Amino acid sequence: MIEKTLTVEGMNCASCAVHVEKAAGKVAGISFVSVNLATGRMTVSYDERKASVADILVAVDKAGYKAIDDEKERKATRPEIDMFRKRLLLSLIFTIPLLLITMSYMAGARLPGMISPEVHPLTFAILQLMLTTPVIITGRKFYVAGTKTLLKGNPGMDTLVAMGTAAAFLYSLYVTIRIAGGTTHLVHHLYFESAATILTLITLGRFLESRSKGRAGSAIKKLLSLTPQLATVIRDGKEKTIPAAKVVKDDLVIVKPGERFPVDGIVTEGTTAADESLLTGESIPVEKSHGSEVTGASINMHGSVIYRATRVGSETTLAQIIRLVEAAQGSKAPIARLADRISGIFVPVVMLLALLSFTAWYISTGDFQFSFTVLISVLIIACPCALGLATPVAVMVGTGRGAESGILIKSGVALETSHKATTIVLDKTGTITTGRPVVTAVISTGSYDLSQLVALAASAESRSEHPAAKAVMAYAGEEGVTAIPPERFTALPGFGVEAFTDGKHLLAGSRRLMTERKVDLTIADKKTAHLAGEGMTLIYISISGNCEGVIAIADTIRPGSREAIHELMAMGHKVVMITGDSEATARHIAAQGGIDKVLSGLLPGDKAEEIRRLQNEGERVVMVGDGINDAPALASSDVGIAIGSGTDVAMEAADIVLIRSDLNDVVKTLKLSRATIRNIRQNLFWAFFYNLLGIPVAMGALHLFGGPLLNPMIAAAAMSLSSVSVVWNALRIRNMRI
């Protein structure tokens, strides 16, 4: 199966998106299609043996819309916001004087004799025609799109606008002809200003809507702007400045203070600190030296460095982030299905209601002008636009806000499902803990002081690649202890190491090694008894046959993990720790984190099975992990969250990726999910409420009880305002604190 994203032009309401989905979905070989009104994009999955992009383009075209696959063509297209700005300005130039003439007359003001309807009614009508015609021409896309979709049997919002304004304009044109023929009393039955004002107000609404949608997608624009245009590389021993896009893998790249790293890589020369805040949300610069990884688009704070490019082009971290965010913003949340179902039948129903209202009022009153006003008002006020924008704009803003904070949400489904979570399952190693063993205690059991003991232990471990050996070496470095290179070294897999240093025979390893080499551990056991229940790894140090000390090593809890776990519980979630470690180690870490429920000694398959067991008990499970062994559990959970220090496999299996290795970002993710879904529900409520209230009013419900009749211009303003208000409400998510 191939997945493809296309841009669709001509969509202006939810029913448009539904029609495009249906048209594309009928193509043989299509397995999935999703259209996002807010982004104007369609995502399709298809079997290339049965379907092609050309087939999809044809199907969309037959439905009355245009799908674009050519990236160059899409870039060359005039930005939507500029198009609506130009149309709005042209419309205002003619609509404002038209309104001044007609509204001042209606308000009782005396017009100059040459354009007075009493003195020169034909001149009055022709002047309105002359001012209205340019507005009609400027808004011709409403008529082209509306007519096309109507003829295809898929009427949308443009159809309603086109029918309402065309009816007003054509009727007024008919009246003007009648006036020219001598029926001058019809001068009071002109609707030119309604047609022009409705088109102008709807264009204003579309302009504000497109501008707001542009702000909703600002996260992507911000990410795209981070990549520098140029890069300095060393080729053939010389420095060359080239476009950043031309950097290739293994190029040596020079970055000076204040410049951005053009691609991902590993530092080979120099030291600096990198500001990665725009990628990770972390405000504190990260120190970089030989062997450190640097991320493209982060800022080199001080000191020139040379680094080897490891990921370039579409492989860089930034490019992957942009792809994830774009995919998420183009996806649909399940809550959108309700709006889609309603929008699919909404426009035909509105057209029917408009005709019924016109007929009923005309039969009961015999007043054509009154009935005609009702017809136009019903056609104009109906607004599936607000319904269509309610969900996708909120998803756009929510996923964009997450990306700015280092939270990459892959889909609208993940965003929505997260807020329903009841149980949070946390992997221990690398998630709650740092995933790196560190020395937690050094105990002397003989005549050597702690400094001497650490120096000799470091000498013995200096050539070992075991994680425990690296922990000892790191501790020695922190304590300022210098390790003497061993004269002889032997690794003892599963036991430890053996070495000769400065004439001393050293053994560093497990209790089993000491037992096999007949080393007495009586004193060591007494001094380490308190560590037995804390799940630590003990490295015994034997010097010339005597146990002279013990080094305790453990995987320590991450800073902030306890606070994050406490807040998850305060939010009403059950928290479970899951691990492959022994129960003693698991219980010790769980106690530090404040977790009561622990599942230990589990294989990767067992973790996934435990997730399914919790789901069978009715729990909605969010799984947080970082390793390859967490991938099955991440995939099995309702929502899988991978933290940034994890493996590529874990991140691929997860629904959400946290760039930083911080459990507090899990809390932020759940808060963001709750805020976004709350916003979507608000949008849907007001969109439904608006239509339930607006359509009956437009049909004359208030007039039945002595109230006013809705003016078509007021209906147009209300319709535009409803769409803009939905977008503006979604934009509030950008300012929320998470």
Where does a domain end: 615, 650, 668? 668
pLDDT in tens, 267-291: 999 988 888 766 655 556 778 888 8
Q: How confident is the model at residue 586 (pLDDT cuts 50, 70, 90)?
A: confident
Residues 426 and 574 in one domain: yes
Query: Do 411 and 425 have their domain in common?
Result: yes
Does residue 571 share a domain with residue 475? no
Could you tell me which residue, 331 or 614, shows the higher pLDDT? 614
Q: Examine the domain organization and report whether 614 and 593 are in the same domain.
A: yes
Q: What is the pLDDT of residue 216?
A: 54
CATH of the domain at 67: 3.30.70.100
Name every residue whose Cβ is closer than 8 Å to that of residue 23 and which is 6 or more positions away in sequence: 59, 60, 62, 63, 65, 154
CA–CA dist 611, 423 (Å, integer) = 10
Cβ 668 vs Cβ 407: under 8 Å = yes
Q: Check residues 633 and 113 and name the one with the higher pLDDT.
A: 633
Q: Judge if 589 and 652 occupy the same domain.
A: yes
pLDDT given for residue 568 in this prediction: 95
Query: Is residue 343 over pLDDT 70?
Result: no
Tell me what percent of the residues of the chain surpass a pLDDT of 70: 87
Positive or negative torsion for Cα 378, 379, 380, 385? positive
- Is 101 a residue whose pLDDT tops 70? yes
Q: What is the 3-state secondary structure (H, E, C) of 500-552?
A: EECCEEEEEECHHHHHHCCCCCHHHHHHCHHHHHHCCEEEEEEECCEEEEEEE
Residues 542 and 562 in one domain: no
Total domains in the chain come to 4
Instruction: State the pLDDT confidence band at 558, using cuts at 50, 70 and 90.
Output: confident
- The CA radius of gyration of the chain, in Å to the nearest whole number, is 35
> Residue 34 forms beta bridges with which residues?
43
Residues in the chain: 738
CB 501, CB 487: distance < 8 Å? yes
> Is residue 661 in some structural domain?
yes
pLDDT digits (tens, 9 = 90+) for 434-466: 878 889 899 999 889 999 999 999 999 988 877
Mean pLDDT of the chain: 83
Tell me the backbone φ, ψ of residue 34, rounded to 5 degrees. -140, 125
Are 553 and 564 within one domain? no
Neighbours of 373 (CB within 10 A): 23
Instruction: Read off the pLDDT band of 421 (50, 70, 90).
Output: very high
Q: What is the mean pLDDT of residues 319-336?
A: 67
Q: Does position 73 have pLDDT exceeding 60, yes or no?
A: no
Please classify residue 441 by burial: count the beta carbons closer than 10 Å to its beta carbon, then call 0-12 exposed, 13-18 middle and 19+ buried: middle
CB 38 within 8 A of CB 212: no
Whether residue 360 has pLDDT greater than 90:
yes
State the average pLDDT over residues 299-326.
83
The answer to whether residue 541 sits within a structural domain is yes
Say which range, 81-85, 228-232, 504-508, has the weakest mean pLDDT.
81-85
- Residue 564: per-residue pLDDT: 94
- Tokens representing 506 are 């050293």
Q: 642: pLDDT confidence band, cut at 50, 70 and 90?
A: confident
Instruction: Indicate the SS3 state at residue 265.
Output: strand
Establish whether 251 is a catalytic residue: no
Round to whole Å and give the CA distance between 252 and 218.
33
The residue written with tokens 């053996």 in the block is 498
pLDDT higher than threshold 60 for residue 584: yes
Single out the residue of 615, 563, 595 nearest to residue 427, CA to CA.
595
* Bridge-based pairing state of the strands 597-599 and 574-578: parallel
Candidate ranges 58-72, 480-494, 553-567; pick with highest mean pLDDT: 553-567
623 and 509 in a common domain? no
Q: How far, in Å, CA of 421 to CA of 602, rounded?
A: 23
The pLDDT-based confidence of 403 (bands split at 50, 70, 90) is confident
Tens digits of per-residue pLDDT, 14-53?
678 888 888 888 898 898 888 877 677 888 888 888 888 8
Mean pLDDT (whole number) for 138-160: 82
Task: Tell me which of 619, 642, 668 is where a domain ends.
Answer: 668
Answer yes or no: do 485 and 627 share one domain.
Answer: no
Predicted pLDDT of residue 282 = 54
Question: Is residue 377 a part of any domain in this protein?
Answer: no
Question: How high is the pLDDT of residue 336?
Answer: 64
Sign of CA dihedral 572, 573, 574, 575: negative
* Tokens 């003439």 sit on residue: 101
Mean pLDDT of 299-327: 82
Is the same domain home to 22 and 46? Answer: yes
The residue with greater pLDDT, 500 or 284, is: 500
Q: Which domain holds residue 579?
A: 406-432+558-668
Least confident of 204-213, 299-308, 370-379: 204-213
pLDDT higher than 80, residue 160: no
Report the distance separating Cα 135 and Cα 131, nearest Å.
Answer: 7
- Please state at what angle helix 467-478 crosses helix 450-461, rounded to 10 degrees: 140
**pLDDT value of position 223:** 67
Residue 195 burial (10 A CB sphere; 0-12, 13-18, 19+): buried
pLDDT of 250 reads 92
Q: Do the domain assignments include residue 128?
A: no
Contact 598, 583 (CB under 8 A): yes
pLDDT at 220: 62
Q: Per-residue pLDDT tens for 696-737?
A: 988 988 888 888 888 777 776 776 677 778 878 888 888 877
Does the residue 6 lie in any domain? yes
In this predicted model, which residue has the larger pLDDT, 139 or 345?
139
Edge-to-edge strands of the sheet including 264-269?
A: 238-243, 230-235, 252-255, 305-311, 264-269, 293-294
The answer as to whether 151 is a domain residue is no
- The arithmetic mean of pLDDT across residues 475-499, rounded, is 88
What are the pLDDT digits (tens) for 188-218?
778 888 888 878 877 886 777 677 666 555 5
Tell me what pLDDT residue 491 has: 87
Instruction: Quote the CA–CA distance of 420 and 220 in Å, as a whole number.
Output: 27
| pLDDT (0 to 100) of residue 651 | 66
Assign 650 a pLDDT band (cuts: 50, 70, 90): low
Residue 333: count of CB within 10 angstroms of its CB: 21
Q: Is 187 in contact with 85 (CB distance < 8 Å)?
A: no
CATH number at residue 502: 3.40.1110.10
pLDDT for the residue numbered 70? 55
Is the residue at 347 inside a domain? no
List of residues 6+ apart from 147 with CB closer than 8 A: 159, 162
Which residue, 164, 517, 497, is CA-closest to 358?
A: 164
What's the CATH code of the domain at 412? 3.40.50.1000
Last residue of a domain, one of 10, 42, 76: 76
Give the pLDDT of residue 670: 95
Residue from 251, 264, 340, 427 carrying the catalytic annotation: 427
pLDDT for position 268: 94
Contact present, 253 and 264 (Cβ < 8 Å): no
Q: What is the CATH number of the domain that holds 274?
A: 2.70.150.10
Q: Exposure of 735 by Cβ count < 10 A (0-12 exposed, 13-18 middle, 19+ buried)?
A: exposed
User: 161 lies in a domain?
Assistant: no
Are residue 565 and residue 549 in the same domain, yes or no? Answer: no
**Greater pLDDT, 582 or 64:** 64
Reported confidence tier of residue 333, pLDDT bands at 50, 70, 90: low
CB 448 within 8 A of CB 601: no
CA angle 560–564–567, rounded 5-degree value: 145
- The conformation of residue 110, written as its DSSP 8-state character, comes to P
In the prediction, which pLDDT does 14 show? 67
Residues 654 and 577 occupy one common structural domain: yes
Residue 74 has pLDDT above 50, yes or no: no
Assess whether pLDDT exceeds 90 at residue 151.
no
Residue that wins the pLDDT comparison between 363 and 406: 363
Q: Cα 408 to chain center, whole Å?
A: 6
The two counts, helices (H) then strands (E), for the chain are: 27, 26
